Amino acid sequence: MNSTEKIKILYIDDEQNNLTSFKANFRFDYNVLIAATTDVATGLLRDNPDTRIILCDQRMPDKTGVQFFEEIRTEFPEPVRMLITGYTDIESVIDAINRGHIFRYIRKPWTDADVQSAIEEGNKFFLTNSLLHSRNTELQSAYDELGKFAYSVTHDLRGPLLSLLGALEIAKASESAEELKEIHSMMGESIKKLDEFIRNIHEYYSLKRGRLVFEPIDFNAIVHDTVALFRIAGIMDHIRFNADVKQEGKFLCDEISLKIILNNLLSNAFKYQRKSAIDKFVEVNIESNSENAIIFVTDNGIGIHPNHINNIFTMFYRATSEETGSGFGLYNVKDALNKLKGEIEVTSKVNEGTTFKITIPGKPNG
């Protein structure tokens, strides 16, 4: 919410004169909505969910202001409620305030200064509350992630370790050189899996805690660096790879986030190939100018089943048991894109392949 915008307030009173003079007095300082009946007021609240403060006269024809506030409290819990009333109703007002329905009351006839100070106080209260609310939401999602994290760590770190332990036991008892070789190569796989998980945790952490550093991007260099690592690891063997980069003008972005995105998408594209396919290919197309970059990563691999496609960006979700994976990669991709305000689309067909399309806005120069 923009703090420089005028505060939106709703004033409810059955006397037209009061409404008119209220609006005349405060329309320069606030965005004032007025209602002569509680029904109109409810309608206005529905249409204006950003209303921060409601002032209501206690003596409305169909109900009291206190009753009205009690009624709307569930549907509109956020706006700060204030009652306008004469001395005669003071008992019911005290009661309502004590029961927490009303933030404060304004004595009738009101003065501009009274109303103004009440609105300013009410607004502070509103802002504190909504800040608290959004912090609580953030905290809750951090807790949820931590919970998933702790659960997954026991499996993803402990799993490969226990496999190694099991393999060592068998190796001790084995007398065949052939079998030992086989066990060793499987132990290597298990260690790689563990290492991949740890690298993913590192990526996750750099994304969560790291600051974005915007600098001119050389996509050719990023693709080259990424692919060089895959080549050494041998995961590109027998897969046709083609990179097409068209770069015009200076594209400013955070290089680490871009590398995380490309590294994960390309690694998936190479990994989830159909083993029996004859012509396996992976393609990356990048077009960028100073305004944005559009990246396509395409493969003709195993594809993603429609049942899983909505969940692929969820932390620790895995749509297949082909190959080893941590369930972390695409989550990190999505997280990096959120930080860059980028978007990702995926189209996929089982046994035909998958295309990811990424659009990232460049940071304006200077």
Residues within the interface to another protein (CB under 8 A) = 151, 154-155, 158-159, 162-163, 165-167, 169-170, 173, 182-183, 186-187, 189-190, 318-321, 324-325, 327
User: Please, are residues 285 and 350 in contact by the beta-carbon 8 Å criterion?
Assistant: no
- Name the residue nearer to another protein (CB basis): 52 or 318: 318
Minimum CB separation from another protein for residue 184, in Å? 11
d(CA 178, CA 182): 6
Closer to another protein by Cβ: residue 71 or 144: 144
Give the nearest distance from C-beta 27 to another protein in angstroms. 58
Closest CB to another protein among residues 186, 212: 186
Cβ-based nearer residue to another protein, 75 or 178? 178
Instruction: Pull the structure tokens for residue 126.
Output: 């509103």
Strands (E), the chain: 8-12, 31-35, 53-57, 80-85, 104-107, 214-216, 239-247, 252-254, 280-288, 292-299, 343-349, 353-361
| Cα angle, residue 150 at apex, residues 148 and 155 outer, rounded to 5° | 95
Alpha-carbon distance of 106 to 122, in angstroms, equals 12
Contacts of 226 (CB under 8 A, 6+ apart): 259, 262, 263, 266
In DSSP notation, 166-225 reads HHHHHHHH---HHHHHHHHHHHHHHHHHHHHHHHHHHHHHHHHHPPP-EEE--HHHHHHH
Q: What is the smallest separation between the CB atom of 139 and another protein, expressed in angstroms? A: 22
Distance in Å, CB of 344 to another protein, minimum: 21
Structural contact between residues 295 and 286, judged by C-beta atoms closer than 8 angstroms: yes
Residue 297 CB, nearest distance to another protein (Å)? Answer: 22
Q: How far is the CB of 179 from another protein (least distance, A)?
A: 9
By beta-carbon proximity to another protein, the closer residue of 167 and 243 is 167
The residue among 175 and 248 lying less far from another protein, judged by its C-beta, is: 175
Identify the helix (H) or strand (E) that includes residue 306: helix 306-309
Query: What is the smallest separation between the CB atom of 282 and another protein, expressed in angstroms?
Result: 22
Question: Looking at beta carbons only, is 320 or 365 nearer to another protein?
Answer: 320
